Structure 1
Amino acid sequence: MQSTVNYLWKTDDVLGQGATASVYKARNKKSGELVAVKVFNNTSYLRPQEVQIREFEVLRKLSHQNIVKLFAVEEIESSKQKVLVMECCSDGSLLSLLEEPENAFGLSESEFLIMLRCVVSGMNHLRENGVVHRDIKPGNIMRLIGEDGQSIYKLTDFGAARELDDDEKFISVYGTEEYLHPDMYKRAVLKKPQQKSYGVTVDLWSIGVTFYHAATGSLPFIPFGGPRRNKEIMYKITTEKPSGAIAGIQEQENGAIQWIYELPITCRLSLGLKRQLVPILANILEVDESTCWGFDQFFAETNDILHRTIIHVFSLPQAIMHWVYIHSYNTATIFLEEVFRQTNIAPHHQEYYFEGHSYELGPNLQAHNLSRTTESCPLIMLSTEPEEPVGLRYRDPSLEFPKFFPKIDVTADCSTAKGVLSATYRTLRISRSLQQCQELILRGLYWVSKTLKSECLQILERRQAVAETLSFLQQDEMKILMLYESVAGDREVPEIKGLTELRTRLQTINEEVSRCSHSVSSEHQTTLQCIISDVGNKRSQMKEDRSIQQMEACLGKMQLLYSQFKKNRKHLRLNYNEQQIHKLDKVNLGHLAKTVLSIFQDNCVQKYLAALSAHGIRMRKAFEIRKHLKKLNRSLTACSAEISGCQECLHKALDELPQKILQGKTLSSAPTQVYLNLKHKDMLFGMQELQDQMKIVAHNLQLNNSIIQRLNGVASTPGL
């Protein structure tokens, strides 16, 4: 036990250790408050006095929620060694988080964004106060859980920090070699003297490596054998990196370097975030100071990401989830363009659903007015053009499962067990994504089918309205023609010829309307009802599927075994009984891994592929039905327009008929029909009655037009 005037701690309660100091968990003697004390070792006192006090001075100058707070500088009572009393971040560091098997392939998107926000904010405070850190790495980014349950990241370890303006340089070398700027690496690691000074942008290189590590779970620059075993190649990779590349890997001894320009498929970040992040990594991982971004541009670009709104979009035809990053003030037009960049579906072909209803996106609608989305409740995007399902892209997780060596090696076995657990976490994440994709496919198909079924009924309703109006018009045409024939007698009247032609037009319209009735067949409605029933059955089956729960149960057992492997690693040797148990644990872990892979490949993947295939067939059927309904809608619209034109012709003929009578036209001497027996007065009365009927037809046309407009609105809403 050691103590200062106000704090005490146990020397085995270590939070972290470095070259010049160790950090312990301590408590305030009066309040019991938990703190961290940084105790400097003898090596630290070999440094110049100004270097020793620099960390105290820097920390006193800084005050920010993303920088570990300095509470006091005290002395150990027994040795008079100075200690820094600081804020305790009880949840480890970013490095410890990345070393957990769950994060072996990088942080989740939400956690990465939190880390990004905290680190950028903390670095911004450093630059505002003219401080260069010089040892940015995951191990120096501490983590604690806030009251809201979210992580808070804080920069720590300012032993290498110093005050430096943007245009100033320094010549001393500090840092950790994997995260060290190549110019500093040459001097500090390769021990090659060089007359070169360094600027504040060395922190940007370290940030770039740290961000890549956090996004992928691995370092960006890896020579064969590892960075610490092949230092010359490590330097070669970092200095010869082409512009735009964000990583370089040498997979074989003396082999070529593979340059990487995108984040790997195993990375858990979405395509939307990758598109924003990769240019930042490419421009701060530049050796040449003249091409490397400065802090101003770095802060501008990272804050641009952090101030964007995330819209979750599920492309139903392609069966892919997208995270769309746009500013809250961006319009729907910009949103549609960004969706196009990710899906290759043109804006004018995009249609949307949200929570079962069509979702209109006016061109000037701003992003902050869009409905709030989540991964489980996204906007469902459809396309007016046929699209083939693409599905979720992923690397086969069976490639990630390492094999145990027969020989007992507690260190190697623990590392292998961690690899198995990491691969299991990834397999489980993929399985959940496959299941979520199937759920969204079924949900979207259900909405589409219900909409199309409703459209079928509305088309029939519209056809009925058009047919009734047409029937009235045909009756009126017949009466007007008879009146004209009674006036004309044996004389040839042009209007009669026009009315005869009009009758032919009406007959043609009638035939077209009849075809529309037959086209909206029960077959369409039956097909849609089958899709709706199938979707309902599949959703019920998915609820009964226990694949995920079975894999989670295996994972729980594997975690217990991994804990035992970590305990065994602490012992140099195992006795005979412990060795036998250790061997059994290796066998059991292998069996559990095989079980997880079997469930994944034989159940999750097979069901997903079957669902994807069925989805393609159903979408093609739905697309054809929708295409046919649109064609019928256009035909009915054309018929309605024709009917309106015919109605105007009849009005005109009826209006001109009194003039024919007043001009002395006589009636036929041998009438054979009802209207031919009418006297002059009775004929005028019949015309009046016919005009009243025409008004009814006009009213019916007006009513029909309103139905047309309403149904046109329905037909134009997204359905496929």
Structure 2
Amino acid sequence: MSSYLRGSANYVWSTTSILGKGATATVHQGVNKVNGEPVAVKTFNHISTLRPQEVQIREFEVLRKVNHENIVKLLAIEEEQENRGKVIVMELCTGGSLFNILDDPENTYGLEESEFLLVLAHLYAGMKHLRDNNLVHRDLKPGNIMKFIKDDGTTVYKLTDFGAARELQDGQHFVSLYGTEEYLHPDMYERAVLRKHANKTFGATIDLWSIGVTLYHVATGNLPFRPYGGRRNKETMHHITTKKESGVISGIQTKENGPIEWKRELPVNCQLSVGLKKIVTPLLAGLLEADHHKIWSFDQFFGEVDAVLARKAVNIFHINKSTLIKVYIDPKESYRHLQEYIFEQTDINEENQILLYKTSLLTNLVEEYVNASGFPQTAETDPLFLFNKENNNVNIPPFQELPKFNDFSTVISVENDASQAKFACSIGHQAKRQVERFSLYSQLICDTVDNLTKYINGNLKDLHQQLQHLLEKCQIYRKTAQIFEMSQKISNYSLKSNSAAELDSISKDFTTTVAVGVHGLYKQHSVENNLRLQWDTMSRDLKCPSKTLAPARARTQVEHLRDSWQHLVRDRATRTLSYNDEQFHILERIKITQTINRVKNLLEVEVFPQYEALSENFGDWYKMAQNVHLKTEILASDVEKYENKLRDFGEKLSIDNVDFNDYIKNNFDSSKKTNVVKGRRNMKSQELKNILEGYKKESNHIKEVILENSKLIISVRECSDELKEKFLNID
């Protein structure tokens, strides 16, 4: 009886513990004999020995040449003790292959955004290292990209399987055929699969096509080019890849001999945001180019990916839709570019955009000339809030129905039941993501109410303080004007000005209308906090999904679905079931049906209606809030106009004062007067002196008030600069 264990000088592995299998080799899980470290061991079958010797040793040479974090690390090349064949010992990637990850029902529609960007970054880095060493892989696909989980829990994706790799300079070509047909460049597909044009040669850029297909697969969960019937429809596959126009990134045939559905955009149901799709789609279009005159170079690919990865994600909660959007902006771009990107996704003109970060206008925190690298750091749970000056309606997007789950067949089939259970898990994951998304949006609605209320109340508080200052200033000017007029009468000043009446004229409407309006709004909202109280009243009977732990409940239900699915997968592996096993199998099918109904009800009956009701109430509240905001802006404009008028009045009063002082100096010179006149003048001068002293005191008081206000303004500016500097340093 032969043993399942095999070994080399320093490693041992089990032939039944298979991690992956190809045409010429199998990868097993093994351990280091000395320290027990788990490893991956690649062994070669007899077919591999039929290859030329130089081809057999090429993989060893390539692995010895490369050394990079995003390429699976070579630990040793040893001889198997039993048959003396060479084995390759590599680090073990416990996360499995990217193909298996995409095959998981959680990723039916591709990886989530952050994981996609991680794959893109690591694939780019690994490929750049290969090209820096003049190497081509020639079999790039998700199955040859491994997920390595580091000790700190972070993920690193690594290229593996260099059996087809070889050294190839730019401009050099090769004739040998390698690769997996769904990921092959059309020219290589024509030779390798259709057996045509036997003398055609290929360059290093064939890897770029494979990267494009891989990235599309990672983004969507599906291959970009899919003929009806799959691999058996080879001619149609070749037709799709060679006849597509430039810019087309997918071609799908849904029925036999049917038309091809060409697409230039990524599908709606993939997990990437609109903002990321916008910059990834041109990248895919450039990679999936069969025309030799339009095909990208590696330098262009590396440059484009560099630009994508350098962009900064700005999370924005779009109030009018109650949804989250993402804008990817180059760190060197400015606030104006951010507005343009927002317009592309929302159709809100730049002049109508209001962006809040927490309770402050973004424009108060970021100057127009500041690069995006200086913008505040945002997250999905801590975004910017986007308002539209001209639109106070809130209309949420229509609900996206989940795929229909059909009941299990009355006839037990371990194969079909496992597939049906996997489909149920896929629906469960979609439902869970929607529950999480609507729960997040509901929480952001509440955050919007909180931040907008504080912003409006803060503006009213500042406006009220400004009003109080102007009213005090007006009183000082009024006293000064009255004293000034009395001085003019006593001195028989001929150029008398009616300053007090003029001040009353410019202040009448302000004190009777504007001041009353500011006082009223300030009392209602800054003091009594009416907007907040109105929201609390309107939303008292509403539930927020995040408060009812809906996301956690959805995750629990999906875990139950996955447990049942794995049970049916194990049943499929046994092929035949005993009577007892069959009864448990039936119970798992019942559990799956019940669980999928529960998670769908959680979404469709509980969470989405709660989000919908919350959005509807928020729409009503937002109209009131925007009305208060509009009134505040109108009053602020009136206050500013009055402040300008008061400033002009003060300047005119100062000029009149200078003229009057000159008159006093010129007309009350003692050397030109008689003693009699001097006596009468002394009496009037004493009276005038007393009045002027009072006037001087009032003037000094004005100066003190102005000085104090100047200090306050300087203090406010210093606080603003400090706040700006704080946000500029956050990145």
Q: Is the 8 A contact 2:464 2:522 kept in 1?
A: no
1:323 to 326, 329, 339: 326
1:104 Cα deviation after fit: 1.8
Once residues 568 and 27 of structure 1 are traced to their aligned partners in structure 2, the CA distance between those partners, rounded to angstroms, is 30
Q: Is the 8 A contact 1:392 1:434 kept in 2?
A: no
AA of the residue aligned to 2:381? S
Once residues 509 and 665 of structure 2 are traced to their aligned partners in structure 1, the CA distance between those partners, rounded to angstroms, is 31
Partner of 1:135: 139
AA of the residue aligned to 2:590? V
1:92 to 84, 91, 96: 96
Q: Percent identity among equivalent residues?
A: 34
Once residues 342 and 590 of structure 2 are traced to their aligned partners in structure 1, the CA distance between those partners, rounded to angstroms, is 48
Q: Is the 8 A contact 2:542 2:610 kept in 1?
A: no
Task: Encode CA deviations 1:366-394: one digit per residue, 9 max, x unaligned.
Answer: 44444433322334444555454455687
Once residues 222 and 182 of structure 1 are traced to their aligned partners in structure 2, the CA distance between those partners, rounded to angstroms, is 14
Partner of 1:36: 40
Once residues 653 and 137 of structure 2 are traced to their aligned partners in structure 1, the CA distance between those partners, rounded to angstroms, is 89
AA of the residue aligned to 2:575? L
Partner of 1:528: 531
Superposed, 1:182-201 pairs within 5 Å as 182-201=186-205
Once residues 517 and 82 of structure 1 are traced to their aligned partners in structure 2, the CA distance between those partners, rounded to angstroms, is 86
Once residues 197 and 666 of structure 2 are traced to their aligned partners in structure 1, the CA distance between those partners, rounded to angstroms, is 119
Q: Is the 8 A contact 1:449 1:531 kept in 2?
A: no
Q: Is the 8 A contact 2:109 2:220 kept in 1?
A: yes
TM (norm. structure 1) is: 0.88
Partner of 1:163: 167
Partner of 2:449: 445
Residues 403 and 171 of structure 1: CA distance in aligned 2, closer, same or farther (over 3 Å):
farther
Q: Is the 8 A contact 2:319 2:387 kept in 1?
A: yes
Residues 422 and 77 of structure 1: CA distance in aligned 2, closer, same or farther (over 3 Å):
same
1:560 Cα deviation after fit: 1.6
Task: Encode CA deviations 1:269-305: one digit per residue, 9 max, x unaligned.
Answer: 2233222211111011111122110111111111222
Corresponding residue SS for 1:609: helix
Once residues 228 and 246 of structure 2 are traced to their aligned partners in structure 1, the CA distance between those partners, rounded to angstroms, is 22
1:338 Cα deviation after fit: 4.0
1:699 Cα deviation after fit: 4.6
AA of the residue aligned to 1:70? L
Corresponding residue SS for 1:144: strand
Residues 649 and 44 of structure 1: CA distance in aligned 2, closer, same or farther (over 3 Å):
closer
Partner of 1:373: 378
Partner of 1:673: none
Q: Is the 8 A contact 2:478 2:503 kept in 1?
A: no
Residues 449 and 48 of structure 1: CA distance in aligned 2, closer, same or farther (over 3 Å):
same
Q: Does 1:175 align with 2:182?
A: no
Corresponding residue SS for 1:634: helix
Q: Is the 8 A contact 1:105 1:267 kept in 2?
A: yes
Once residues 407 and 191 of structure 2 are traced to their aligned partners in structure 1, the CA distance between those partners, rounded to angstroms, is 39
Stretches of structure 1 lacking an aligned partner (at least 5 in a row): 665-677
Q: Is the 8 A contact 1:633 1:712 kept in 2?
A: no
Partner of 1:51: 55
Partner of 1:669: none
Corresponding residue SS for 1:249: strand
Residues 458 and 10 of structure 1: CA distance in aligned 2, closer, same or farther (over 3 Å):
closer
2:11 to 7, 10, 14: 7
Corresponding residue SS for 2:496: helix
Once residues 700 and 467 of structure 1 are traced to their aligned partners in structure 2, the CA distance between those partners, rounded to angstroms, is 12
Q: Is the 8 A contact 2:140 2:207 kept in 1?
A: yes
1:598 Cα deviation after fit: 0.9
Stretches of structure 2 lacking an aligned partner (at least 5 in a row): 669-682, 725-731
Once residues 650 and 10 of structure 1 are traced to their aligned partners in structure 2, the CA distance between those partners, rounded to angstroms, is 100
Superposed, 1:541-556 pairs within 5 Å as 542=545, 544-556=547-559
Once residues 466 and 491 of structure 2 are traced to their aligned partners in structure 1, the CA distance between those partners, rounded to angstroms, is 38
Q: Is the 8 A contact 2:12 2:31 kept in 1?
A: yes
Task: Encode CA deviations 1:316-346: one digit per residue, 9 max, x unaligned.
Answer: 4543323333444545554454444444445
Residues 588 and 681 of structure 1: CA distance in aligned 2, closer, same or farther (over 3 Å):
same
Q: Does 1:256 align with 2:251?
A: no
Partner of 2:728: none
Superposed, 1:449-464 pairs within 5 Å as 449-464=453-468
- Greater mean deviation of Cα atoms: 498-507 or 300-309: 498-507
Residues 118 and 594 of structure 1: CA distance in aligned 2, closer, same or farther (over 3 Å):
same
Q: Does 1:269 align with 2:272?
A: yes
- Greater mean deviation of Cα atoms: 591-600 or 40-49: 40-49
Once residues 213 and 71 of structure 2 are traced to their aligned partners in structure 1, the CA distance between those partners, rounded to angstroms, is 20
Residues 706 and 514 of structure 1: CA distance in aligned 2, closer, same or farther (over 3 Å):
farther
1:228 to 226, 231, 251: 231
Partner of 2:301: 298
Q: Does 1:427 align with 2:428?
A: no
Partner of 1:646: 649
- Greater mean deviation of Cα atoms: 463-472 or 584-593: 463-472
Once residues 43 and 432 of structure 1 are traced to their aligned partners in structure 2, the CA distance between those partners, rounded to angstroms, is 50
Q: Does 1:103 align with 2:107?
A: yes
Once residues 170 and 406 of structure 2 are traced to their aligned partners in structure 1, the CA distance between those partners, rounded to angstroms, is 47
Residues 604 and 414 of structure 1: CA distance in aligned 2, closer, same or farther (over 3 Å):
same
Corresponding residue SS for 1:135: coil
1:617 to 610, 617, 620: 620
Q: Does 1:597 align with 2:603?
A: no
Q: Does 1:693 align with 2:698?
A: yes
Once residues 380 and 148 of structure 1 are traced to their aligned partners in structure 2, the CA distance between those partners, rounded to angstroms, is 34
Once residues 375 and 500 of structure 2 are traced to their aligned partners in structure 1, the CA distance between those partners, rounded to angstroms, is 55
> Would you say how many aligned residue pairs link Structure 1 and Structure 2?
700
Once residues 32 and 323 of structure 1 are traced to their aligned partners in structure 2, the CA distance between those partners, rounded to angstroms, is 46
1:308 to 307, 311, 314: 311
AA of the residue aligned to 1:495? K
1:32 Cα deviation after fit: 2.9
AA of the residue aligned to 2:158? K
Partner of 1:281: 284
TM (norm. structure 2) is: 0.86
Q: Is the 8 A contact 1:208 1:284 kept in 2?
A: yes
Q: Does 1:79 align with 2:79?
A: no
Residues 425 and 509 of structure 1: CA distance in aligned 2, closer, same or farther (over 3 Å):
closer
Q: Is the 8 A contact 1:654 1:691 kept in 2?
A: no
1:354 Cα deviation after fit: 4.0
AA of the residue aligned to 1:229? R
Corresponding residue SS for 1:584: helix
Residues 701 and 62 of structure 1: CA distance in aligned 2, closer, same or farther (over 3 Å):
closer
Once residues 189 and 21 of structure 1 are traced to their aligned partners in structure 2, the CA distance between those partners, rounded to angstroms, is 21
- Greater mean deviation of Cα atoms: 136-145 or 231-240: 231-240
Residues 199 and 534 of structure 1: CA distance in aligned 2, closer, same or farther (over 3 Å):
farther
Q: Is the 8 A contact 1:317 1:619 kept in 2?
A: no
Q: Is the 8 A contact 2:339 2:350 kept in 1?
A: yes
- Greater mean deviation of Cα atoms: 150-159 or 39-48: 39-48
- Greater mean deviation of Cα atoms: 511-520 or 305-314: 511-520
Once residues 615 and 522 of structure 1 are traced to their aligned partners in structure 2, the CA distance between those partners, rounded to angstroms, is 23
Q: Is the 8 A contact 1:107 1:216 kept in 2?
A: yes
Corresponding residue SS for 1:263: coil
1:175 Cα deviation after fit: 1.2
Once residues 620 and 709 of structure 1 are traced to their aligned partners in structure 2, the CA distance between those partners, rounded to angstroms, is 36
Q: Is the 8 A contact 1:106 1:217 kept in 2?
A: yes
Q: Does 1:61 align with 2:62?
A: no
C-alpha RMSD of matched pairs (Å): 3.4
Once residues 519 and 202 of structure 2 are traced to their aligned partners in structure 1, the CA distance between those partners, rounded to angstroms, is 81
Residues 711 and 529 of structure 1: CA distance in aligned 2, closer, same or farther (over 3 Å):
farther
Q: Is the 8 A contact 1:265 1:394 kept in 2?
A: no
Once residues 401 and 543 of structure 1 are traced to their aligned partners in structure 2, the CA distance between those partners, rounded to angstroms, is 27
1:508 Cα deviation after fit: 4.8
Residues 403 and 181 of structure 1: CA distance in aligned 2, closer, same or farther (over 3 Å):
farther
1:107 Cα deviation after fit: 1.4
1:206 Cα deviation after fit: 0.9
